[in-house]
Amino acid sequence: MMSSSSSILLCLVFSLFLSISPSTARTPGKPSRPQALVLAVTKDPSTSQYLTTIRQRTPLRPVKLTVDVGGKALWVACDRSEYISSTYKPALCGSPQCRLAKSKSCDDCWDGPRPGCNNETCSNVVYNTVEKSGQIGEVATDVLALQSTDGSNPGRLVRVPNFLFSCGSLFLGEKLANGAKGIAGFGRTETSLPSLLSRALGVRKKFAICLSSSVGVAFLGDGPYVLLPSVTVSDRLIYTPLLTNPVSTVRPIIEKFPDYTWPSMEYFIGVESIKVNTKTVPVSQALLKFNAKGNGGTKISTVEPYTVLHTSIYNAITKAFVKAISKVPRVNPVPPFGTCYKASSLGSTRLGPGVPAIELVLQNNVTWMIFGANSMVYLNNSEVACLAFVDGGKKPRTSIVLGGHQLQDNLVEFDVEGSRLGFSSTLLGRQTTCGNFNFTTKV
Ligand SMILES: *[C@@H]1O[C@H](CO)[C@@H](O)[C@H](O)[C@H]1NC(C)=O
Ligand SMILES: *[C@@H]1O[C@H](CO)[C@@H](O)[C@H](O)[C@H]1NC(C)=O
Ligand SMILES: *[C@@H]1O[C@H](CO)[C@@H](O)[C@H](O)[C@H]1NC(C)=O
Ligand SMILES: *[C@@H]1O[C@H](CO)[C@@H](O)[C@H](O)[C@H]1NC(C)=O
């Protein structure tokens, strides 16, 4: 029999060994946690959607998706020939997956069994935010794989075995870009990509997007965020609070599913005033805040290609802008834009066409500067440059929807845990662009 002192010694030696072993002898199949994951985000020229590719299923295959920062969850097309996987698991009624998806429904399907069509499974609403349509889809899990990152390059592939998503059908995807098989939702929900990856891998519940007119990048988890040539963009972000709109903004409303009773899944910030050419333009303060119905305020969208403004804000900005460069002759507007110039008469600067800056003064007294590259869009073979804002009418749900063109070459960090939004302002001023992530894998 072992004496108690020698067994204590043995325990000590053993625990010493245990505490050393993880760093010296890493167990295969149990690699260290990644600090962040990375995705390439490509702009589709014909739809102006921002697309990313994840790997899913067994065997793993690439799945192209439209990125929606305010989207509820991941949904992919599970149509008959689309979805083949040996690890697809439908969420059985009452399972933890159904609870996570906040689905109380329990359905049967007559056309199966197959992915998207099984008996006694829960389902929820799959939103096509591009088309503003919705559909009921089976809740399920499958393997998902993304590349980790140290902030500078992609690293090893990280697999998440039972990643929650919903099945949609492609007839719903009519307005999605060519080749897109669903939507990757990054919104303020428990089922969005950032939330599920944080839950599965322990990465921070935050993400950053850096949209480009070609190939941009998204990071999920902690920084640094580094772009060539060695610019650590995460070092100099400016922060403003992220706001929660207490009233849902989802469309369509489907009575049986209570998503429309939740707070909005989208990310809002507080614009307090707007300046054009350094002068404050007259804008109704009421439109900049949420009213009791959740109307008003400012949100960030990757689904709207251009910023959409309440008519009165659109008119105020346009009027001040036109006045500031009244000497430059205007040309016929190219719809949907209302203010256009001959491109060559504006001249060009490092920050795009030489036009007066538009400033969004945000909560915390920080300013989001919009220079020519983000305020103007070149059309007609670059002969024409138009003010890249769209009139959203007199009764839009949200007064300011900051869209893709205004976000390009500006790294925007959604720190959900810290409840703040960080932005870099145009990277063109720092000699880099969102197209400058080094996608060469470094393991
Ligand atoms: C669901 O159950 C019914 C019988 O209740 C059966 O006819 C049908 O084939 C089942 N569907 C699937 C997908 O298993
Ligand atoms: C731009 O192109 C469209 C169609 O090609 C044409 O109708 C329009 O007149 C052009 N606009 C300008 C200002 O050149
Ligand atoms: C906000 O910032 C500007 C310049 O950065 C400064 O002039 C102004 O006094 C500040 N306002 C407040 C309320 O802090
Ligand atoms: C991109 O990263 C790879 C791997 O670390 C490196 O070899 C290469 O030099 C980098 N490219 C540039 C342009 O720095």
pLDDT tens digit sequence for 366-406: 999 999 999 999 998 999 999 999 999 999 999 999 999 99
Q: What is the pLDDT of residues 158-191, one digit of tens each?
A: 999 999 999 999 876 678 999 999 999 999 999 9
Q: Write the residue with the smallest CA distance to atom 4 of ligand 2.
A: 380
Judge contact between 142 and 56, C-beta under 8 A.
Answer: yes
Nearest CA to ligand 2 atom 12: 332
Q: Is the pLDDT of residue 4 over 50?
A: no
- First CA to last CA across the chain, in angstroms? 49
Instruction: Considering only residues 162 and 82, tell me which one the structure prediction assigns the higher pLDDT.
Output: 162
Question: Do 273 and 207 sit in the same domain of this protein?
Answer: no
Residues 148 and 247 in one domain: no
* Model confidence at 54: pLDDT above 50: yes
Task: Quote the pLDDT of residue 80.
Answer: 84
**Where does the pLDDT of residue 29 fall: very low under 50, low under 70, confident under 90, or very high at 90 and above?**
low
What one-letter code names the amino acid at 129?
Answer: T
What number of residues does the chain have? 443
For residue 39, which of 59, 57, 62 has the smallest C-alpha distance? 62
- Asked if the structure places residue 201 within a domain, the reply is yes
Q: Check pLDDT > 80 for residue 135.
A: yes
Is residue 388 assigned to a domain? yes
Number of domains comprising the chain = 2
Q: Does 3 reside within a domain?
A: no
Mean of pLDDT values over 134-148: 96
Ligand 1 neighbourhood includes 109 CB (under 6 angstroms):
yes
Helix (H) or strand (E) holding 324: helix 311-324
Q: Ligand 1 centroid vs 123 CA: distance in angstroms?
A: 16
Q: Whose CA is nearest to atom 3 of ligand 2?
A: 380
Q: Which ligand is nearest to the CA of 364?
A: 3
Q: Is residue 256 part of a domain?
A: yes
| 137 Cβ neighbours under 8 A, 6+ residues apart | 75, 78, 116, 123, 124, 125, 126, 166, 167, 168, 169
**Domain of 366: which CATH number?**
2.40.70.10
Extract the tokens encoding 148.
């980790």
Nearest CA to ligand 2 atom 7: 334
Record the tokens describing residue 2, joined without a space.
């072992």
Q: Is 382 exposed, middle or buried (0-12, 13-18, 19+ CB in 10 A)?
A: exposed
227 CA distance to ligand 4 middle (Å) = 11
How many C-beta atoms lie closer than 10 Å to residue 204's C-beta? 18
Within-domain flag for 9? no
Burial class (CB in 10 A: 0-12, 13-18, 19+), 89: middle
Q: Which atom of ligand 2 is closest in space to residue 340's alpha carbon?
A: 13
Q: Does the model's pTM come out above 0.85?
A: yes
As beta bridge partners, residue 208 has 219, 413
Which of 179, 198, 223 lies at the terminal end of a domain, its last residue?
Answer: 223
Cα 286 to ligand 3 centroid, rounded to whole Å: 22
- For residues 212 and 254, state if they share a domain: no
Determine the atom of ligand 2 nearest the C-alpha atom of 379.
1
Residue range(s) defining the domain that contains residue 321: 238-423
Q: What is the mean pLDDT of residues 198-218?
A: 97
By alpha-carbon position, which residue is closest to atom 3 of ligand 1? 110
pLDDT score, position 33: 85
